[in-house]
Amino acid sequence: MPAFSIPGAVMTPIERFLLFVAAPTVFACALIEAVVLSRRRAYDWRAFGVSSFDLVARIAFGLAVQASIATPLVVWAIRHRLGDIALDTWQPVAVLFVGQEFCYYWYHRAAHRVRWFWCNHAVHHSPNELNLSAAFRIGMFGKLSGTALFFAPLIWLGFDVRTVFSVLTLNLLYQFWIHATWIPRLGWLEGILNTPSAHRVHHAANLDYLDANYGGVLLVFDRLFGTYRPERDELPCRYGLVHPMASYNPVVVEGAQWWWLLRDLWRALRGPAPGGRLRAVVGLLFMPPGWAPDGNSQTTEALRTKEASGGRVPAGT
């Protein structure tokens, strides 16, 4: 389901397709892959179960909760839009596609670089194996975390709100197949399209691969903003979180990051914080995952600096 919906509105044809055709199809394809892979090697069926729970729970949550914390901004964008852009020629369709890619890049980058957004997005990176079932483990609480904020500019420009979020869902649908690790590199398409090879890098927890390849369909903005990393033969990808998720309890997988954030905020409010409590709270919410008020951070930059200086990087990195 789209990240934003209008209460009481009847589903559009594309929304019905996504819910009643696309969702069952991707589940069936992931199940077929699981059966095939399980005949060749050990397959993590418990992880498949967690991903299946996320798919069902996210759809149910999306149908039950119509609004999000981004609703006020989206409503403002609708009311103050610059015009009404009809998708009746190829030019506005192209603008919407490229504009959506741009907004998706910055959403996805923020989902890794801002702890508040990471709390939900980390669910997608929690599987310790990469396969098609990991593609639909996206996290239940995207609406509540404010994913829609990043796509409000397209609505303000004049694109229809439901079309914008349906295109976002189509973008995510494209990304389903790139979670297959058995698909090889695709030659000259690497670095242009988001391919299985590029997405393996994105899901890797290796320090050299962290925070890379944020694009949806295209990698043009990764190239432009310096976040593109190619897969390297000498550095096999290790999938999962920097500190691997060991639990198969769906409640733990969905809620662990939120619980740890609340714990850290509580400690910052209760005890002394270097630089003040306000700085600590704002930093814990909006600085990169791993940031700490006392300077003992484990952000990507801190870990790389430590490795470069010959320090010991924490196990699991």
| Contact criterion met (CB below 8 Å) for 74 and 155 | yes
Whole-angstrom distance between the N-terminal and C-terminal Cα of the chain? 34
What pLDDT is attached to residue 276? 87
What pLDDT is attached to residue 65? 83
Cα torsion for 47, 48, 53, 54, to the nearest 10°? 80
Q: What's the half-sphere exposure (Cβ side, CA atoms, 13 Å) at 66? A: 8
Residues 240-279, buried b or exposed e (16+ Cβ, 10 A)?
Answer: bbbeebeeeebeebbbbbbeebeebeeebeeeebeeeeee
What pLDDT is attached to residue 316? 40
Angle at 195 between CA 234 and CA 100, to 5 degrees: 135
Where do the structural domains in the chain lie, given as residue ranges?
13-225, 251-308
What pLDDT is attached to residue 315? 43
Distance in angstroms (rounded) separating the CA atoms of residues 297 and 312: 14
What pLDDT is attached to residue 17? 86
Its pTM surpasses 0.85: yes
Distance in angstroms (rounded) separating the CA atoms of residues 253 and 264: 18
Low-confidence ranges of the chain (pLDDT < 50): 1-2, 315-317
The DSSP result for 9-67, as a single string, is PPPPHHHHHIIIIIHHHHHHHHHHHHHHHHHHS---HHHHHHHHHHHHHHHHHHHH---
DSSP-based three-state secondary structure for 91: helix
Question: pLDDT by residue (tens digit) across 95-121?
Answer: 999 999 999 999 999 999 999 999 999
